[in-house]
Structure 1
Amino acid sequence: MKAWREKSVLALVPLIALSLSACGGNETSGKTGQEGKSAGTSAPKEVTLKIGLPGAYDITKKEIIDGFQAKYPHIKLKIDESPWSDFSQKITAQVAAGNPPDVWFQENAVILGYGKRGAAENLAPYIKRDLKQDDYNKGLFAAQTADGSVWGVPHGLNPATLVYNKKLFADNGIPAPTNNWTYQDMLDAAKKLTKDTNGDGKTDFYGFNVASSITVGWFPWSKIYGGGILDETKTKAIVTDPKTIQGLDKWVSVVKEGISPTEDILKAGGGEAQMFGSGKIAMLFSQYSNQLIYAKNYPDLDYDAAPMPKGMDGKRVVPLVTNSWVVYSRASQEVKDAAWQFLQYYLSDEAQETLAKSGNALPVKKSAEAKLDPTTRPQNKKAYADGVAEAGTTTDENPSWQEWRLAAQPIFTEIYQQRKTPEQGAKEIQEKIQAVLDKNK
């Protein structure tokens, strides 16, 4: 689905002519969540709410929009829908001109940028007042920054986990992955699953596919010895930390040792999804939304999910990608109240269960996890939800995430392709990332 593809994330264009100040939740003196009743009357006051839907109803279930409209008929909806890429291109200009939708969603890192520039309403006071935070998993705060501001709430969660071919494990007499697996356990099994079945010197089955991209590639591997990419403040790069380099060395060693196919082999085999779907790859890290691809293109693939393995330091890291809803900070208070009413509905049992059944994304409300369909593959969808609860984390998203990620990715690719050592690449990546972070202080 295009909304989840990393390459679909557009670079944040500076929001020209935007001299906004963050309105935050301090303006919420009205009865948000009280259906907008006007003074001296029992009838709700009519208000128009413009909702931006990138990808239209392919990404946001129409059932949710219709359900909200039926429940709150006094809130008149205007739907601004367009293909994802078209929406992403036009929204920057709309925000700069002061005429965006009242509430819309985009990639979480983009939303953080809106927060920094004053275009997003701080939802932290709304959440504190109106939501029972224990009812939601930690993904609810994917758009939270160090100062406690929350610039958006999830449209849906797309965490990563380990998926594996059940038949290949059974045929080789190898027990399925467990909750206690470490990266070393995974690699030990991958070596046993890597096979040249006819003795021609060419590998027919690969035990694992290691990715070159961020979410299921270098980001989780950088953390397996206790290192990482950014520090906890998201203002300092830590790529040259010896623990980070050790993780990156292990990441690229999977390809060096022939456990994972090279880029050329992947290309010849039709790509990662094709090779996994046809039983040529036994394991890989995969995001939640990929289940729809496997169901559509490889309906006979007998596979399941297991938790992301624990790192060599004993800690589990579950990369979490999300699109997030944002409320425009310069809208009138009554419109912001209506937008928050919509987001409360979106985060309700009714809407979250609809999201869970769709398979498009993981819901953020814990009660809706019971509606994940165990009859479709992967059956153990609980692995995704439990992973988020235990160790879900964004890929070090901050307002400059898109910029520093794009600066770093070519060098990570060179490391993956073995054209640079992890030590050489880490030094260059450190300098590039830190330069971006310092520029955006």
Structure 2
Amino acid sequence: MFERKYLSVVLLILSVLAMSTTHAATLQALTDEQLSETTGQALMSLTYIAPTDTANLEARRTGGDSTVGFYKLGLEATVELNANIKKLQLGCGGTNGSGACDLDLDSVSFGCITGAAGYCITSATTNPNQPTGIDSNNAISNQKNMKDFVLTNPYFQFAIKNPNSASTREVVGIRIGAEKAEGPLSIGNLNSFSGYFTGKANLTMLGETNVSPVSSTTWNSRAISTPSAFLGLDDATILNLGLASVKYSEITANYSTVSRNGLAVSVVGNRVSQAKIIGLDLSSVVDDIINGTSTTSALELNTSNSCVRIIGICSGSFGANIGNALLPVLRGGISDYIKQQLATGLGTSVSGLSTYQMPYNLSNVHQIDVNSNTFGIALSAQNLQYPDYAAAVSKGWSMYLQDAFTLNISDKVSNLVSNIASSSNAKDGNITLLEQPYRNCYGSLKFC
């Protein structure tokens, strides 16, 4: 039996050798032209940007370091990530000061659980003023699939100072990134951010009917019925012609929805906690609400619940119709009055409303649908502008997400104006709430 097994092994080895010899004997040399027509792909790639290369943004920027080169070790692969991180803290204390972290995020989730319609499920909220998201059905029967956070061609990039000098060569930065990052990212609480984080905001201010311009404590309950909402402005007289008069506290109004889309949102710096919404132009927002646009109606008095006094007596719908007839003359003054109230609430001037950058607390941001070609997390010994970055990131830990998210803010005009005029919510960065984080676990498991 042993001899048979031994013979079988010998025959197998001889067969392999014979096959190898046959293949080796049939190998053919390729000409240069044939080689040039041959293509292939390696699992890993290495590229280098010298300090003198035009692609070296760090060397070319004002105040940049002209001695830094960049080596990139890339992986030609796709990484599909679905993970939950209870606490993500990087760069705590150290060179940027004690008592805080460069990046400090609670309950971070890469990926989500989708519902029957294919949308990420938004976690439940107990706050009636908080939006619920596209799909808020958290029932187990609606938890259908997992959606991953996808990294295409991830890489390590090394920033090397004096790369051509063995004696003075120094690593001044390490970046972990991907040529494409796409998918749902949700955060329980974003306490502190360092780096470059930009996106856009779509703000929809919903039209309403039967709204009082003043607050819930100053409207005249003897003159009108309970309004549907309150703008929170101070009371004042709109019109006083002797025989006829109109006050803000004795009227309600109807107005249309106003939208501002594609607004720039920017978070740049070290250990910041607020974003800036740029291009809102509150002055033109007020004008569009009061005067209307080519596609929306101008503000009008609610004729069924407004008091226009004639000889000191509320004259019902008759007087309200007279008030509406006079509105084209009055709209300019009404617009100016509202702008003054908003400017006071925000701590700026009326002229400053056009360029005012609305602060927004990052702690309100829980859902981010990432779609970025320059995603990266870096550890740097100095301020550095890595290749393809729009700006330099500060020393320490930083995250880079350019054009990475969209904030869809939709709320009633009355809520937004009240948060500006009669409270400090807007000035403090809390003009409105956003949805809870995406669900990224099944049933009652952790982070749910």
**For this structure pair, what is the TM-score category when the shorter chain's length is used for normalisation?**
under 0.3
Higher percent of residues as helix: 1
Q: TM-score, normalised on structure 2?
A: 0.23
Q: TM-score, normalised on structure 1?
A: 0.24
Greater gyration radius: 2
Larger RCO (CA within 8 A; separation ≥ 6): 1
Higher percent of residues as strand: 2
